[in-house]
């Protein structure tokens, strides 16, 4: 047990937080602009940043389940502790599933996944338009669920910070 999350986990939390907001923002934007060069570039950026998030979530899960963790925030009733745990596990599950679904969907759609304009990654499955549509629907549902969890998470942290004033934010503070 420790009072704060380990330093590396704290740094990865904030790096990922920024990355996820970018990936979501680009994802929403690219689907709503006119087809063309900019749209293609945004798709490539979304896929590349999403794949970086996939690498980071694997590192993060390893750190999370192998390192020392602080105890649950003090004074939380058991039901609230269970909800917080569920949200945190939900984050890991969604952040693992989302990039894989995006990659699978792109492969099924027949679109190349080019990492940062440098490396074309292999297709995971053969082209299949009907399957692509299903995979993208799931990708979208998971993305909106993730947005919902982020809102819940941030509201929870703000409640601790400004109503309970229990210094919870420091447990995840980057420095
Ligand atoms: C943590 C990672 C990811 C998140 C949070 C995420 C989130 C999103 C969001 C919010 C959208 C827009 C949905 C909408 O407009 O309703 C989207 C669309 C899309 N994403 Fe991702 N994404 C991630 C990773 C990836 C990856 C790694 C790929 C591909 C390698 C990918 C491929 C796509 C594609 C092709 C679409 C458009 C689907 C469509 O036309 O409906 N995503 N994503
Ligand atoms: C994309 C956004 C975010 C994601 C995916 C995310 C994910 C997580 C996860 C999974 C944990 C549990 C620790 C772990 O297992 O790694 C956590 C803890 C934490 N997060 Fe976030 N987070 C995000 C954004 C934020 C933001 C914007 C804030 C600040 C307002 C924040 C503040 C915290 C704090 C204070 C904790 C520690 C809670 C505790 O001590 O129990 N997070 N976050």
DSSP state string for 81-140: HHHHHHHHHHHHHHHHHHHHHHHHHHHHHT--EEETTTEEEPPSS---HHHHHHHHHHHH
How many CB atoms lie under 10 A from the CB of residue 63? Answer: 17
Residues with CB under 6 A from ligand 1: 20, 23-24, 27-28, 31, 46-47, 50-51, 53, 95, 98-99, 102-103, 105-106, 113, 136, 139-140, 143, 146
Each residue's pLDDT tens digit, 66-78: 988 888 888 888 9
pLDDT of residue 1: 38
Is 61 touching ligand 2 by the criterion CB < 6 Å? no
111 Cα nearest atom in ligand 1: 35
Q: How remote is the CA of residue 13 from the centroid of ligand 2, in Å? A: 7
User: Which protein residue's CA is at the shortest distance from atom 15 of ligand 1?
Assistant: 28
Atom index in ligand 1 nearest the CA of residue 95 equals 1
Domains of the chain, start order: 7-171 (1.20.950)
| Whole-number pLDDT of residue 123 | 97
Ligand 1 mutation pick, 136, 143, 147, max ligand atoms within 8 A of CB? 143
Best of 18, 19, 23 to mutate for ligand 1, by most ligand atoms within 8 A of CB? 23
Beta carbon of 17 within 6 Å of any ligand 2 atom: yes
Closest CA to 51 of 153, 124, 128: 124
Residue 2 pLDDT: 56
For the CA of 32, the nearest atom of ligand 1? 15
Mean pLDDT per 10-residue run, the chain (175 residues)? 83 97 98 96 98 97 90 86 94 98 98 95 97 98 98 95 90 90
Helices 129-158 and 7-30, interaxial angle, to 10°? 130
How close is the Cα of 134 to the center of ligand 1, in Å? Answer: 13
Note the pTM of the prediction, 2 decimals. Answer: 0.95
Among residues 96, 117, 11, 83, which one has the least CA distance to residue 53?
A: 96
Q: What is the distance in A from the centroid of ligand 1 to the CA of 97?
A: 11
What pLDDT was estimated at residue 35?
Answer: 96
């Amino acid at each position: 047990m420790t009072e704060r999350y380990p330093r590396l986990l704290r740094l990865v939390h904030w790096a990922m937080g920024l990355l996820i907001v970018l990936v979501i923002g680009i994802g929403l934007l690219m689907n709503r602009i006119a087809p063309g060069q900019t749209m293609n570039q945004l798709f490539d950026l979304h896929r590349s940043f999403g794949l970086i998030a996939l690498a980071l979530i694997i590192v993060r899960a390893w750190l999370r389940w192998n390192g020392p963790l602080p105890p649950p925030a003090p004074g939380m009733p058991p039901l609230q502790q269970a909800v917080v745990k569920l949200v945190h596990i939900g984050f890991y599950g969604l952040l693992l599933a989302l990039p894989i679904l995006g990659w699978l969907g792109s492969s099924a759609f027949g679109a190349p996944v080019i990492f940062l304009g440098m490396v074309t990654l292999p297709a995971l499955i053969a082209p299949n338009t009907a399957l692509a549509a299903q995979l993208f629907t799931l990708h979208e549902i998971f993305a909106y669920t993730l947005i919902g969890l982020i809102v819940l998470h941030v509201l929870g942290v703000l409640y601790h910070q400004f109503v309970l004033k229990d210094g919870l934010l420091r447990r995840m503070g980057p420095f």
